[in-house]
Structure 1
Amino acid sequence: MFLMIDNYDSFVYNLARYVQELGEEIVVIRNDKITIEEIFHLNPKGIIISPGPKTPKEAGISLEVIDKFKGIKPILGVCLGFQCIGDYFGAKVKKGIYPIHGKLSKTTHNQVGIFKGIKSPINVTRYHSLIVDKIDLPEELTITATSDDGVIMGLQHRYYDIYGVQFHPEAALTEEGHNLLKNFIDICKKDLEPTVMDITIEEFQSYLNPCEIYSVFSKEKNTIFLDSSKEDKELSRFSFIGVNPYKIYKTKGNKIYIDDKCYYGDPFLELEKLIKSMILDNQYGNMDLPLLCGCIGYFSYDIGRIIEVIEDTSEKDFDSYDSYFVFYDNIIIFDLINDKKYVTALGQSKDRKEAIAEIKEKILGAKGIKEEFQEKDQNTFYSNFTKEAYIDTIKKVKEYIANGDVYITNLTQRFWCYNNKEGFQLYKDLRSINKAPFASYLNLDDIQVISSSPERFIKIENNILETRPIKGTRPRGRNKEDDEKNRLELINSEKDKAELLMVTDLERNDLSKVCKVNTVNVQGLFKLEEYSTVFHLVSTITGELMDNVSAVKAMRECFPGGSITGTPKIRSMEIIEELEKVRRNLYTGAIGYFDLRGNCDFNIVIRTIIKKDNKAYFGVGGGITIESDEEMEYEETLDKAKALMKVL
């Protein structure tokens, strides 16, 4: 279905009839009778902005449609719609030398995009008094057609699927009008037919554990290890290794990089389109392995600026991508509960059987790793806060709470140090002293990520969505008596339970955006979990995903996690931006995978080191409530930092 925004013109249904004659359904709605939310709900293949009277500023919702759907849906602007495109991107719309109405012009075009396969020149019918000025035309707009009197007749955006024509393709005497519209329809449909991916899956035997097997591939760029090092039947049954990338998807702001191509769009929606362009052969749909093929990577916390408009005031102390996902030809799968190992092959870069044989041969040459860590000399760590400044900032958060801005806000301090140790060695050291159910090591082009996260953000399997926020922390004791004392203190802490309850209700809210009515439930509340250096309180919330809501869409609606922002979420994010001084970057984002069958599993990026060149960065923080003790909150950040500081 296509949508036409009717700018109160008298030729709209001529244009709509052309679309219908080309075999497509079209809905025509006037420019003041529909909202952006309703357009999202309609989910059209493409949007046509019609001709009409007056100026772009008087074209109802037309300019907002361009703003909200650029990079998301293909857009065609006709006459006034064409002028709206020019106006939105910064071109000057002005009166022409003379009005032209109902007259033909010979028009030369570039024979690409909506003019593909159409002879040049063509005769077109014009109905306009205003024109888009050639002078100072924005660089992102390309002139695609010009009339014999030198007026712009066609524009195309350099990065988005946005096209415009000043003339009327539906007019009785315009040549090739049907073919022009057919080209636009084809552009809208080009990504709708997915490629069916065949796959080979082989089980193999090895006495080595997942970390030992990953060591064979650890020096290869863009390999990723999702490591359930703290084995748990409920939480961490599987580990995965991605090798032999065939496609890499990276974003910075609205700039999208796919391999060597660059364009603009919404990073979540473009990733969703890319994933939807591939489907797995049906015979593998019910396999009891949650990831067979797809992509593994991360969303940084900072990508939340795409979802919510947060004023950019904090410093960016190092540069990396906002999201980074690798599509793998081969994935090594470890079923830790049943002690089974598999390798998959898609055949995108190499014959499937040949690729599997090479991987198995490499694994045969792997050696065992002794998991022992010897602490080196003390390093020097630098923070973006002094102790006094951090405590003062906690007091500012409490002022916001007292004034009614928020109920709880998560505050973080950023540490960094110099470190020349190889990234995977850091990961092995961290793994040996702080096993975690959602650990990972990412060896990417620009950074290495060393994570021992205990927290699941979102898991989707068989259409059931689960999230497990953590709130409340106490250090492990020096002996059993200390341990028991700290355990009981956390279990009985009304402050910590209130903190977790607030975040649990926030996550129930977020899941309700994407889950069916009457399916969102709290499965566990105030459960105590123990790790090598700390105790945590955890809750579990589940829901059944709505029909036609993808895993990427669910991620976008719930991102970032409530446990690392606060509630209300958006106001908390604004306070974080104001008070934390430096951008969080990947810290408190999410690392995990999307499977082509709709499954996903992502952690919250905490207890994580980001290594770039000879520097290592990590964040630690906690939820601030009106009951927070400033000294205790500061000490809690140091408790959480212990394992990371130890390996650095």
Structure 2
Amino acid sequence: MDEARILLIDSYDSFTHNLAALCCQAIPQSRIHIIKNDALSIHQLVPHLPKFDAIVVGPGPGSPAHPADIGIVRDLWKLEEHLLPIFGVCLGLQSLALEFGGKVSRLRVVKHGQISPIVHTGSDLFADVGAIEAVRYHSLHASLNDGEHLEELAWANDGEENGRVIMAIRHRSKPYWAVQYHPESVRTSGGGLEVLKNFWRLSNEWESLRARKRYKWDEEIETLVGPAWPSLSFSLQRGMNVLSKKIHVQTRIIDSPLLSSVEVAEHFGATDENARLVLLDSAAKPGRFSIIGSLMTSSRQYTHYTHENHVSITYSGTTEQIPLRELDIWSWMENHMRPYENIVGHEDVPFWGGFVGYLSYELGCQHLAPLPTRRDKSAPAPRVHPDLNLVFVERSVVLDKVTGRAYVQSILPKDDGWISDTVRSLRELDASLRCRVGSKVVSSEECPRPKPSITLPNRSHYLASIETAKAHLAAGNSYEICLTAQTRVTLAVQDVNRDRSSSWEMYKRLRKHNPAPHSAYLRLNPSTVLSSSPERFLSFSRPPNPTYQLRPIKGTLRKGPDIQRADAERHLVGSVKEVAENLMIVDLIRHDLHGVVGEQVHVSQFCGIEEYETVWQMVSVVEGQSSPCRCDEPGERNSQGWQVLRHCLPPGSMTGAPKKRSVEILRELEREPRGIYSGVLGYWDIGGGGDWAVVIRSCFKHESQSRVPNATENEDLGGTKLGHPPLEEWSIGAGGAITALSDAQAEWEEMVLKLQSVLGVFKANPSLSPPQGPTL
């Protein structure tokens, strides 16, 4: 038998690729072609339907009563001449019911990310199917007015909440079936693969009775609907230089268990506020490696704003602008990594050299909902921080907390003595630290910290935004919306020449106050980033068989003497709301990863409780693997991880699901760009590996926002009549996942509480904001 051809209609959902993977499992030798529900008209599609074996109508946000939400789907149910089997999910069921006389209404109690037992007839779609525990993502439900056209096959009993809710139906004479729950969810048990297999069996039986013949697949339909899923393509320019022979990274290894990232960073100039510095710091468990870049004046720094069509490169005191032309920034950066294809280093070290820095939230959103261009009068003002800010690191020190080793590395072609000088300096520093062991170190008294002015977001607006978000959830526009807001901090710098007043001293306070496995200090003009992020977004190992891992965190409980692991499990794993939030993001991340690597995606940990320095976290782990690189062009192999990063951004834990619609809603609610906050920071190694963390528990400064205060500000911030100390302005983002179960006041308090981990940098003992008033 030829390969089965399945057409999957995507209604802009964030679970579509999970459904595609399930179809591949259920239907042997199947090829899944995915199109958006508004990509083609029914007149364009109908002549080619005989080339398919079946159609799957996927889930999506919105209502089947709204043409913009449902697109071509409503026309599929009216097919007569080119009739073929159709299987609908969620929105697919609702549209089927509505088209044949049913009614779609709102549930009294929304079911988003919740698991329900499903009662079924045991026949048809559910033949030989046993007990079902199914994940539900819906605020709307269908009812059947009569049994003339449609028949109910399964239902859930919600008791006093919603009563009996239809979970599966079929058409009595046409080959149409649909389920309300999500068979593709990672937590659906019994009603996923089994039901899709039954659909395929029923489809074959229907086609056999009618002797339906499938037309031959041809180039015309391939052009119309695109190649089979997954269809990740590379866009590197041909003809670029690649090293013809392998070059080994120059590496020296020293044993230095007492050496910390702070001492090494200060050795490389961390206390000089005017020098660039990058530190990716595993400041707490379960972090292991810390990376400190030794930047030179010739180190190339790349910056880019999404509203511009060029990239700026700064090195040796000069900046040049390079047009992107026909390339996007992602492809352009790929080209600049390509020449390092044949450089290899010590296999135990995750980073040999390469790009280090951050990517903004807005850069990650470009493929979902691009911002208007500057020529558009409705476009927002240009953002302050670059959307891409990366420096190419050629010399580095990598510390391994597990083995106590330090790797001193250079990818420069010639050694000018830097490696031996650095090794000697680090050994001297390590010896000094050993001498201090057991001796009492008397610390100098810290200078009183300047009084900061901390302004929280507008409380009334935030509470109103929560209610608006919940209204969107009730209407079916999203399952979860991660609402955030920015807090502004104005700080008087008492003595710009004093180390303790620098951003580096602030980072050390942050590191002490809130140690985290993905801490970072980035001083890349014009932006300075201080981060104590606990959440890995995406890591990828080196080719040829890379593994991709995402670790979303949803659910946090602060540690205390009376809170042990069992308490954390009871509070977090036992919470319907917390588990539902985590589940939604896990299913979203699976979709993102399936979209670029294909079927090989699995959840190795679901809602596991992990112990961190100051909190218990509920963490899930999603992993994927791509096939060994089939690229015939040098340089493309090392770009696989970069492509996965591109297509998985922005972090689903910071948007909600479905991602596209949630991003659009958040843009209306938040009214200002997020910038660096809820983007990612990390590295892309020349060997093809990478590790990127979600930018949370962080604060940011832009050089242009430093200024001289006016008289009132000077007095408020502790200045004197004779002196006007310069002001630094910092921003901090914080927020929370809004679900149908959210309480607005509790969400506000949670948002403010999250700020405390960073506000400690500016104020010794920050307290919760009073219920009224925006100023802390």
The match for 1:640 is 754
Provide the secondary structure at the position in 2 that maps to 1:480: coil
Provide the secondary structure at the position in 2 that maps to 1:326: strand
Pair 1:199 & 2:249 matched: yes
The match for 1:394 is 466
The match for 1:244 is 295
Q: 1:73 & 1:466 partners in 2: Cα distance?
A: 25
The match for 2:240 is 190
The match for 1:568 is 658
Instruction: Report matched runs for 1:543-558 at 5 Å.
Output: 543-548=624-629, 550-558=640-648
Contact 2:244 2:342 in 1 (8 A): no
Of 337, 340, 347, the residue aligned with 1:278 is: 340
Q: 2:285 & 2:444 partners in 1: Cα distance?
A: 16
Contact 2:243 2:342 in 1 (8 A): no
Provide the secondary structure at the position in 2 that maps to 1:472: strand
Instruction: Report matched runs for 1:397-412 at 5 Å.
Output: 397-412=469-484
Q: 2:278 & 2:640 partners in 1: Cα distance?
A: 23
Contact 2:236 2:335 in 1 (8 A): no
The match for 1:255 is 310
Q: 1:647 & 1:469 partners in 2: Cα distance?
A: 26
Q: Could you say if the C-alpha distance between residues 568 and 292 of structure 1 is closer, same or farther in structure 2, counting changes exceeding 3 Å?
A: same
Contact 1:298 1:325 in 2 (8 A): yes
Of 422, 427, 434, the residue aligned with 1:359 is: 422
Contact 1:222 1:326 in 2 (8 A): no
Moved more, 263-272 or 204-213: 204-213
| Deviation (angstroms), 1:595 | 1.1
Q: Deviations over 1:162-203 (max 9, x none)?
A: xxxxxxxxxxxxxxxxxxxxxxxxxx4235677854421001
The match for 1:147 is none
Provide the secondary structure at the position in 2 that maps to 1:502: helix
Whichever residue aligns with residue 428 of structure 1, its letter is K
Q: 1:192 & 1:416 partners in 2: Cα distance?
A: 46
Q: Could you say if the C-alpha distance between residues 481 and 193 of structure 1 is closer, same or farther in structure 2, counting changes exceeding 3 Å?
A: closer
| Deviation (angstroms), 1:204 | 2.6
Q: Could you say if the C-alpha distance between residues 599 and 621 of structure 1 is closer, same or farther in structure 2, counting changes exceeding 3 Å?
A: same
Q: 1:257 & 1:35 partners in 2: Cα distance?
A: 38
| Structure 2 gaps, min length 5 | 1-217, 315-319, 373-377, 434-440, 494-500, 630-638, 707-727, 763-776
Q: 1:238 & 1:321 partners in 2: Cα distance?
A: 27
Pair 1:210 & 2:261 matched: yes
Q: Could you say if the C-alpha distance between residues 553 and 486 of structure 1 is closer, same or farther in structure 2, counting changes exceeding 3 Å?
A: closer
The match for 1:413 is 485
| Deviation (angstroms), 1:328 | 1.5
| Structure 1 gaps, min length 5 | 1-28, 45-71, 75-187
Instruction: Report matched runs for 1:278-427 at 5 Å.
Output: 278-282=340-344, 284=345, 287-312=347-372, 319-347=384-412, 351-363=414-426, 376=449, 379-383=452-456, 385-419=457-491, 420=493, 421-427=501-507
The match for 2:731 is 617
Q: Identity percentage over the alignment?
A: 28
Instruction: Return the TM-score normalized by structure 1.
Output: 0.67
Q: Could you say if the C-alpha distance between residues 380 and 37 of structure 1 is closer, same or farther in structure 2, counting changes exceeding 3 Å?
A: farther
Moved more, 374-383 or 249-258: 374-383
The alignment of Structure 1 onto Structure 2 pairs a total of residues equal to: 470
Q: 1:241 & 1:437 partners in 2: Cα distance?
A: 15
Contact 1:434 1:533 in 2 (8 A): yes
CA RMSD of superposed structures (Å): 3.1
The match for 1:63 is none
Provide the secondary structure at the position in 2 that maps to 1:319: coil
Q: 1:37 & 1:252 partners in 2: Cα distance?
A: 31
Whichever residue aligns with residue 586 of structure 1, its letter is I
Contact 2:369 2:664 in 1 (8 A): no
Instruction: Report matched runs for 1:61-100 at 5 Å.
Output: none
Q: 1:502 & 1:314 partners in 2: Cα distance?
A: 31
| Deviation (angstroms), 1:484 | 7.5
| Deviation (angstroms), 1:308 | 2.3
| Deviation (angstroms), 1:230 | 0.4
Provide the secondary structure at the position in 1 that maps to 2:275: coil
Q: 1:564 & 1:570 partners in 2: Cα distance?
A: 12
| Deviation (angstroms), 1:451 | 0.3
Q: Deviations over 1:381-411 (max 9, x none)?
A: 123x322221110000001111111000100
Whichever residue aligns with residue 221 of structure 1, its letter is A
The match for 2:536 is 456
Structure with bigger RCO (C-alpha 8 Å, 6+ apart): 2
| Deviation (angstroms), 1:337 | 0.3
Moved more, 328-337 or 212-221: 212-221
Q: 1:371 & 1:399 partners in 2: Cα distance?
A: 55
| Deviation (angstroms), 1:270 | 1.1
Contact 1:470 1:500 in 2 (8 A): yes
Pair 1:504 & 2:586 matched: yes
Contact 1:522 1:542 in 2 (8 A): yes
Provide the secondary structure at the position in 1 that maps to 2:584: helix
Whichever residue aligns with residue 739 of structure 2, its letter is T
Q: Deviations over 1:279-334 (max 9, x none)?
A: 2435x3x7121111222111111102432234457855861111111111211011
Of 297, 312, 330, the residue aligned with 1:268 is: 330
Contact 1:469 1:538 in 2 (8 A): yes
The match for 2:279 is 225
Moved more, 578-587 or 300-309: 300-309
Provide the secondary structure at the position in 2 that maps to 1:352: coil
Contact 1:195 1:278 in 2 (8 A): no
| Deviation (angstroms), 1:362 | 4.8
Q: 1:473 & 1:637 partners in 2: Cα distance?
A: 12
| Deviation (angstroms), 1:247 | 2.3
Of 621, 629, 634, the residue aligned with 1:540 is: 621
Whichever residue aligns with residue 555 of structure 2, its letter is G
The match for 2:174 is none
Instruction: Report matched runs for 1:22-37 at 5 Å.
Output: 34=223
Q: 1:303 & 1:442 partners in 2: Cα distance?
A: 18
Q: 2:510 & 2:295 partners in 1: Cα distance?
A: 26
Provide the secondary structure at the position in 1 that maps to 2:453: coil
The match for 1:527 is 608
Q: Deviations over 1:450-509 (max 9, x none)?
A: 0000000001114010000011234445x5269976763223210010010000000111
Contact 2:285 2:612 in 1 (8 A): no
